[in-house]
Amino acid sequence: MFLIAGPCAIENEQMVLETASELQNVCRELDIPLYFKSSFDKANRTSSSSSRGVGMKEGLRILAEVKQRYGLPVVTDVHESYQCAPVAEVADVLQIPAFLSRQTDLLRAAAATGRVVNIKKGQFMAPWDMRGAITKCREVAPEGKVWLTERGSSFGYGNLVVDMTSLVRMREFGCPIIFDATHSVQQPSSAQGITGGNRELVPPLMRAAMAVGIDGLFLEVHPDPDHAISDAANQIRLADIRTILTQAKAFDELAHKHD
């Protein structure tokens, strides 16, 4: 199992470096490969008045500092095709947000960089529909690496559910499968113009996904999530990450005994 983790949005350099340092320490103890993730722009906010982050130039500078200081590979979102090439100069993995998982030009531009492309499955998409997203990447980069991430499916208004069979279905495509435990407990646009959530549900959903069998785990982690500029209700407290990852590793080892 590998881990993709970090604060939802890059708020400032100090917070990002603090989170990266602690995540690295815990993952070294538990022998879990770590990819540090944070977004320079949250372009799909419910309200136009919500903070979007530090922007691409400053965000890439901070992510480059994480790489230089801690030697960690980094992951960040791209929202438009023109962002892919400059972001790929820093990021090891380009992530396609779930809302954009069918955007042909964006997928092709990301694949053309030669970096790993992590595609979040759209909340509105069936798992088998992700074959089309993979094909769009492979048309540009036949040997390129593509990851698929499950992050829940829309269920009525302001609610998501996780179909664990999605993890099995998407594995049939031959790509590494990741479970995003924190976005899966979102309650979209449910809190007076912002997204709500329930971080207490992260551990049980994570354990279920680990038992089914996944290649990677995605967790949003923040030193003070209640005051985060994005996803405050569902990010994991940095102080709790050791306990959660200890559980994840135990369930991962158990699942592989029965492969």
The DSSP annotation for the chain comes to -EEEEE-SB---HHHHHHHHHHHHHHHHHHT--EEEE-BS--TT-SSTTS---S-HHHHHHHHHHHHHHH---EEEE--SGGGHHHHHTT-SEEEE-GGGTT-HHHHHHHHHTTSEEEEEPPTT--GGGHHHHHHHHHHH-TT--EEEEE--EE-SSS-EE--THHHHHHHTTTS-EEEETTGGGEETT-SSSS-EE-GGGHHHHHHHHHHH--SEEEEEEESSGGG-SS-TTTPEEGGGHHHHHHHHHHHHHHHHHT-
Of 29-33, 229-233, 245-249, the least confident: 229-233
Q: Which CATH number characterizes residue 219's domain? A: 3.20.20.70
Mean pLDDT of 13-41: 97
Range of the domain at 156: 2-257
Tens of pLDDT along 165-203? 999 999 999 999 999 999 999 887 656 666 678 899 999
Percent of the chain with pLDDT over 70: 94
- pTM for this model (two decimals): 0.94
For the chain, what is the domain count?
1
